[in-house]
Structure 1
Amino acid sequence: MSDVLLLTADEAEALTGIGNPILAGQELLRKGIRTKWVIVKMGAKGSILISMSSISCAPAFKVNVVDTVGCGDSFVAAIAFGFIHKMSMVNTLAIANAVGAATAMGCGAGRNVATLEQVTKLMRASNLNEDDKFWNELLSENLDAQEITFLSKTVINGTNKQLKRVSLQKVVSELLPKLESARLEGIVPS
């Protein structure tokens, strides 16, 4: 009955018996009555967001992990922000991955979660964990989607059949004004 279902790759596999997190997400989406998005977190590999018509993939940001306490909650908060503000799926994943990664760079939760400044700096650095072998294997299966969007640091925006590559810098240029506006409105803390 949920609009958004968010789980880890292990949880998606446990619920469906399907090892590929995209295929598992599609199965969960089909079973949902109102579900619009299924998001699967894959730790240091990144995350995927599946809707009825598309799949968005975002590799994780490479960071020096200090503490993972609060990372999942930070990720979820960013997903909620993207969903509520009707951001594109790939932009939502990019900000969620950045907020989760920036939180991992600090110690503990509460007041130590990522700041807007840390998230912005991390996104501008464009240090994505682009494991081509992992993503190619994941995307090589027969996926049921009209469009697949993949966030990349090195690719100029472009499309190859159903795979649409979007540069992280394009996403950053779209996100930062929205985040700054949200900060000024008091929605997002500094």
Structure 2
Amino acid sequence: MQGQELLEHKDFSGGSVVIFGSMNADYTVTTERLPAGGETVVGGPLTILPGGKSSNQAAAVARLGARAVMLGKLGTDANGDFLESQLVSAGVDMSSVVRWDGPSGATVITVDKHGENTIVLSAGANEHVDPAYVDSVQSQLAQGSVLGLCLESPMEAVTRAAEIAHQAGLTVVLNDSPFQGLLPAELIANVDLLLVNEHEMWQLIRHEGDQMPVLSGEGWWKRLDWAEIASRLKGVGFESVIVTLGSAGSMVLEDGSAEHVDAVSVKAVDTTGCGDSFMGAVLAGLATGSSLLDSAKMAAYVSAYAATGRGAQASYGNLEQVRAYFAQGGR
């Protein structure tokens, strides 16, 4: 089945996903074009929207209808109140999120007229999520069937969360972003699925002296040796991988096979948070018994819908909205 047909018949309500990690307030401004180094450009009104990679993923899971449990820390500032209220309104269980006495995480985002963006992160409360906090929420970690992780929280805490969840029998999904270079062996050993974009994938598998492949242009992904890429990823420690390819879709690498999933064409307004909505859909799909390939197919539609609105969580639709949008031919 294609992703649209899969979404038409999918019920996510039986799934339970735990998302561990970051919550940020996104300070966003739109410009005609992104500034070059040292350059000042004129932008539009500044908006403050809910974000953070993990927070976005939790919102995407909840809006699709699956149970989403958020674990992490917010600050005691107004942004903390704002972020909590936004996630609660999306349907996310926030009962195990604690407050740190200081500022919440924040990002500064510039978006151009084509929907492309640049993002700078200030971690705030996120950098105070430690292994002791992870140990305090062990029972909540074990409540789901899938755990979603990214790297906007301290590596020691992410690694501990993966270890606890893996031992409890959850499927552990790691979004290796922001890219951190060499990952701890203890983390890799407890991850069942890796999700990266094409640039993160290349940084992860490149050997010294390798020539940088061309990751753009018409059909660029077809010129890559995906069997070799899968072999190198397996050598790093990852056998099941989704590589997102931007407007070229994604590649699902599993059990020795490489399957391409087409992107869904829409008129993009803002691509901020689209990757997180993609991962959220994959998490929800896996939690409700869909295969990795089918989850990626559905995620292509969910993330395409997100590109039609501004902001990250603010652009995410619920399942009925996504279905209706594409049923009407993407209008």
Q: Which amino acid aligns with 1:28?
A: L
Query: Of 265, 273, 293, which residue of structure 2 is paired with 1:70?
Result: 273
| Aligned CA-pair RMSD | 2.4
Normalising by structure 2, report the TM-score: 0.34
- TM-score of the pair, normalised by structure 1: 0.57
Residue number in structure 1 paired with 2:194: 5
Count of residues paired in the alignment? 125
Give, as a single letter, the amino acid of the residue that structure 2 aligns with 1:24: I
Instruction: Tell me whether 80-89 or 115-124 shows the greater mean CA deviation.
Output: 115-124
Question: Which residue, 76, 82, 104 being the options, matches 2:307?
Answer: 104
> Is 1:53 aligned to 2:256, yes or no?
yes
Structure 2's unaligned 5+ residue stretches are: 1-187, 214-223
Partner Cα distance (2:192, 2:329) in 1 = 30
What residue ranges of structure 1 are gaps of 5+ in the alignment?
Answer: 128-190
Deviation at 1:60, TM superposition (A): 0.2
Seen in structure 2, the aligned counterparts of structure 1 residues 44 and 117 have a Cα distance that, compared at 3 Å, is same
1:89 equivalent in structure 2: 292
Distance 2:256 2:231 in 1: 10
Partner residue in 2 for 1:24: 229
Could you tell me whether the CA contact under 8 Å between 1:63 and 1:101 is conserved in 2? yes
Q: Deviations over 1:55-79 (max 9, x none)?
A: 2211100000001111111011111
Q: Match of 2:203, as an amino acid? A: A
Identity %: 31
Query: 2: distance between equivalents of 1:30 and 1:85?
Result: 30
The answer to which of 69-78 and 106-115 deviates more is 106-115
1:37 maps onto 2:226 in alignment: no
| 2:172 counterpart residue number | none
In the alignment, the residues of structure 2 paired with residue 74 and residue 102 of structure 1 have an alpha-carbon distance, to the nearest angstrom, of 9
The answer as to whether partners of 1:29 and 1:52 remain within 8 angstroms in 2 is: no
Letter of the 2:293 counterpart: V
Task: Spell out structure 1 runs of 4+ moving beyond 3 A.
Answer: 121-127
Q: How much does 1:93 deviate?
A: 1.1
Within a 5 Å distance, the mapping from 1:177-188 to structure 2 comes to: none
Shift of the 126–6 alpha-carbon distance from structure 1 to 2, 3 Å rule, reads farther
* Displacement after TM superposition at 1:80 (Å): 1.1
